[in-house]
A and B are shown apart, each in its own frame.
Chain A
Amino acid sequence: MKNTNTVTIQDMLRGCRLGRLQSAGLMQVIPLLSALNDPYFKNPSETLVSTKGYGKLHFENRSDQPVLVPCHAGYVVKSSSQDHAMAHAGFVASKANGQFDTAMCIQETQPGLISASERQLLILPYALREAAFEGRSEVKYDKLWASIREFNRDFGVSQRGNLATFLKSFERELNGFIAEFEAVPEQVGAVIFIDGQVVGVERCPSQDYFESVWQALIRECYGSQALKVARQKAQRGESLGLKNSSLPEDLEDLEALKQALEDLQSQDAAWAREQIKELLNEPFTLEPEQSLGDYQLYTVNNRQFLGQVVQHPSGRMPYASLIVRREWLVSKAWQRAQSFSIDR
């Protein structure tokens, strides 16, 4: 039964403040900083991950804390076993096992089950996450293959449903994002932009948790989207850089240069605030998914975003993972397009 309450991004980001804008290539990141940490949940880095059947991801939590498996967590393994990913986020109680039969195979041509071990986390590429959300309740291990095939085709790699092919082919480019977008002190989340458009909002329960998932987010999830947009722009003959504000050419002295740099910094900060302001108050509907103790996992959506949040009865929301819908981005592109003119 649907919960009729609504939440906003303003609710989700309670306790956060904006960090300094980071910008490289087509990607921009506004860090979300907070002195607040909700230590209730642990990340799954020390959990033993395995598959107990195709489409059945199993987590063995040996710690005293419950684990929050982040939304669309994936595992690409070197052994001859089929890579898998979650279709949503999930709780695993302390000193307990959790199994998610709604998981998805992300390696069409490789059979075999993953043996239990600590595994390196990835987060599904942005372009796959909406399809993953839509099929999140379905118990069907091959539900993402068609989307992965299309994703791989867009990148000119194999047309099979093997995510590993893309990851291997673009390993060097993806690694670059890790170095370019560094986690900063007190960072618990980020708002991510690609080509000047917001594409995702991520918030984690604590700084430790954020550090454990940030590489996967900036690399496989949003980094892949930046690469995709860059390819599309290159194919259209468009410039690949963002128009970052430039220094004036007519500076008189060092003091003027210093002032100009500070002005640009202020402009960057103002731009960041403006972008966030537009997002804050649009309501999301909530659909309950799973609960653990006092915490409840919801799927949330509005016209622009789709994602999942964790909420405590007190109202605090220590976790949010939201992506912008593809349809929203397409309609924004139409809005931004130049008006028709016979003079062009």
Chain B
Amino acid sequence: MTDEQQEPSQVTTSPALRIADAGLAFLRTAPNTLDAAQSKTMTEAAQTVKPFLDLIGFAKGRATYYTDKAAQAGVEAALHKRLFSLDRGLYAMLCTLPGVTDRSRQAAIKTLLSRPLGRGQGLLSEGEEGHLVEALLKSMPITRQLKFFRLLKAERLNNSRTRKLILKTILRSPRLELWSTRYRKLLRSALSHALGQRMTSVLRSILAKDEAQRSLREQRILRQKLGRWVRAPQQALVFDCVGFVLGLEAGRQRPLLKAYVAAKTRLEDGRTLSTETLEGLRSCYHKDRSFKEVLELTKSQLTKGQSLKLQATARAQEVSIDFVASAHSAVELYVYAFKQGMTEAISEALDAKAKKAAEALSLQSQHVGVLLDASSSMAGSREQKLRPMARALANRDVLAAASERCTIVTCGGQASGRLHTPGGPTALSLGLVELLGAKPERVFVLSDGYENAPSGRFMQTVAALRRLGLNTPIVQLSPVFAADTQSVRALAPELVPALPLPQPKALALTMVRAQLDSEPAEGLKSLCQSLFQGLLTRTIAGTKRRALARPLEDLGQ
């Protein structure tokens, strides 16, 4: 047993935060009001939930403009531990919120798998938690899922829940054949971890034989270890793909597996493979051929993400690749537009995405003011070039689409249509006063919080506004999460709440987060109930696992 795999009774929780023996189970009955004790407990719990919400919308493990990787990792681990200790069910559910980063979801899955289930489980039952873990995993791209399995292997996390999760994810996938050619090594690593080295070797030996030559015992082993995870009609496919993944190339039946083997001899036979797979084969077996030929052969197989990333390469190689703007997030599209230029297709996609994300906000009857900081620090670090500005612009669009009327004032930078390239000093005070002259009902300040014209003037200005009796609610949304403050850098601490600025589809999460500031107990109750009833009711009703993924799509995932 590792240090992390403690018996339930040894998991320490603060008495102030532990919600009696029933955990948060009272929320399952959807109470309309909280009694005094419940309200007090929820208010305390909100203090743990708030920094966790700030983290999970941001954490990517990269150094930021301001803090290094190690500092970031330490803060993340501490916040995960605190919320898990509060209630593991709430912890799991919060990670299903739209806009939560894959890194945060991975950390949550690892924590949940490594801690044994038991009494005092929390808001969710064992089964509910199991379904949720699968949904969290499936919300990530397959490469992330497989690399996550590799991480579990490195950390020797190999309990029965982990093994089950890995085998179900891989063997039940309708894309197993494609994955086998694309992610062969990662799949082999994951399967050997889940099945064990010895059993993997046994299975390889059995799969190397023709079906007719396998003994009854060998057939039983195949069914028990591999076949049991899928329906009978799928078993042959699973055996074929697993055999390939384990290095058996002769005698493959599936078209993509055959194409892979054939392409080693003749490059053109690999045209149904993915670009990177065929490129890998070209670089090993057809060194005299060019990448351009690979691109021409496989361009119809490119994923949407690849088509975006390869646009510049394709242009340089004079190969034309279709680019589907609507398949990418608004932030990705803005980052792309900064580098390659804004097009009508991108602009239309941005409008559509903003409109969709705006549906989750409740600003429709309001006049909203947006103060956009376009100073140089919004350009971001070398690792995240222009991403903070892209995030701010995408959220600007959502706020504009969500409100009846939107007044936008931009400070600094250089505008080119809807693009705004950051540059120059941060002088937000006059911008704020100009914005308030238009009399918005609430103001959102999109800024990383670094001010130098001079520092502190924004806070002085807000204090002066309050003295004038101008109490327009102002919220600062920052596209940068700083490890040193475990949150964001505030322009006017105690006068203007400062929250992380998430992906646009998760702006509603930020609104929830804002409510936790103003009404912690009620805000947390509403959040828990909404998560629990909206997501898990369908699971409790016995729908398939895929139905659990659907709520994430509904939320704009």
Interface, chain A (partner B; CB < 8 A): 19-25, 28-29, 171-172, 175-176, 178-185, 241-242, 244, 246-247, 249, 251-254, 257-258, 260-262, 264-265, 268
| B534 in contact (CB, < 8 A) | no
Q: Are B456 and A182 in contact (CB under 8 A)?
A: no
CA distance A232 to B65 in the complex (A): 28
* Chain A residue with Cβ nearest B427: A20
Complex-state Cα separation, A180 to B452, whole angstroms = 6
A-side contacts of B376, CB under 8 Å: 182-184
Chain A residues near B67 (CB, 8 Å)?
172, 175
- Cα A23 to Cα B429 with chains together (Å): 14
Bound complex: CA A101 to CA B427 (Å): 46
Near A by CB (< 8 A), chain B positions 447-493 give 448, 450-457, 460-461, 463-465, 467-468, 470, 484
Contact A182 B433 (CB under 8 A): no
- What distance in Å separates the Cβ of B434 from its nearest Cβ neighbour in chain A? 7
Residues of B within 8 A of A172 (CB): 66-67, 71, 484
> Is there a chain A Cβ closer than 8 Å to B375's Cβ?
yes
Contacts of B114 in A (CB 8 A): none
CB distance from B26 to the nearest CB of A (A): 43
Within 8 A of A (CB), among B416-460: 423-427, 429-430, 433-434, 436-437, 448, 450-457, 460
On whether the beta carbons of B430 and A244 are closer than 8 Å, the reply is no
* B424 partner, pick from A21, A182, A253, beta carbons under 8 A: A182
Lowest 4 CB-CB distances: which A-B pairs, in order?
A: A182-B376, A23-B454, A24-B455, A22-B452
Which residue among B425, B434, B468 has the maximum number of chain A CB atoms within 10 Å of its CB?
B425
Q: Which of A20, A252, A260 contacts B425 (CB 8 A)?
A: A20
CA distance A241 to B484 in the complex (A): 21
B68 in the interface, Cβ–Cβ < 8 Å?
A: yes
CB-CB under 8 A for A261 and B461, given A251-B467, A254-B470 = yes
- Which single residue of chain B is at the shortest CB-CB distance from A253? B468
CB atoms of B433 and A185 under 8 A apart: no
Partner of B66 from A23, A179, A184, A261 at Cβ < 8 Å: A179
Provide the bound-state CA to CA distance between A186 and B423, in Å. Answer: 10
Shortest CB-to-CB span from A201 to chain B, Å, is 19
With a cutoff of 8 Å between Cβ atoms, the chain B residues found around residue A179 in the complex are 65-66, 377, 448, 450
Q: Does B414 contact A (CB under 8 A)?
A: yes
B: residues with CB less than 8 A from A are 65-68, 71, 375-377, 414, 423-427, 429-430, 433-434, 436-437, 448, 450-457, 460-461, 463-465, 467-468, 470, 484
A-B contact pairs, 9 of them (CB 8 A): A175-B65, A180-B377, A181-B452, A182-B423, A182-B450, A247-B460, A247-B464, A251-B467, A258-B437
Check B66 against A249 for contact (C-beta < 8 Å). no
Nearest CB of A to B333, in Å = 25
Which residues of the other chain, A, contact B433 by a CB distance below 8 angstroms? Answer: 254, 257-258, 261
Beta-carbon contact of A182 and B429 below 8 Å:
no
Q: With A253-B468, A262-B430 as known contacts, state yes or no: A24 contacts B66, CB within 8 Å.
A: no
Known A24-B450, A175-B65; further 20 A-B contacts with Cβ < 8 A: A20-B453, A22-B425, A22-B453, A23-B452, A172-B67, A176-B66, A180-B377, A180-B450, A184-B424, A185-B424, A242-B454, A246-B460, A247-B464, A251-B467, A251-B468, A253-B468, A257-B464, A258-B434, A261-B457, A268-B454
B455: nearest residue on chain A (CB-CB)?
A: A24
Closest residue to A185 on the B side, CB-wise?
A: B423
Contact of B454 among A22, A251, A254, A257 (CB under 8 A): A22
CB distance from A175 to the nearest CB of B (A): 6
Could you tell me the distance between the alpha carbons of A334 and B161 in the complex, rounded to whole angstroms? Answer: 73
CB of B453 within 8 A of CB of A185, answer no
**Residues of chain B contacted by A251 (CB below 8 angstroms):** 464, 467-468
Contacts of A242 in B (CB 8 A): 454
B423-A178 in contact (CB<8A): no
| Chain B residues near A20 (CB-CB < 8 A) | 425, 427, 453
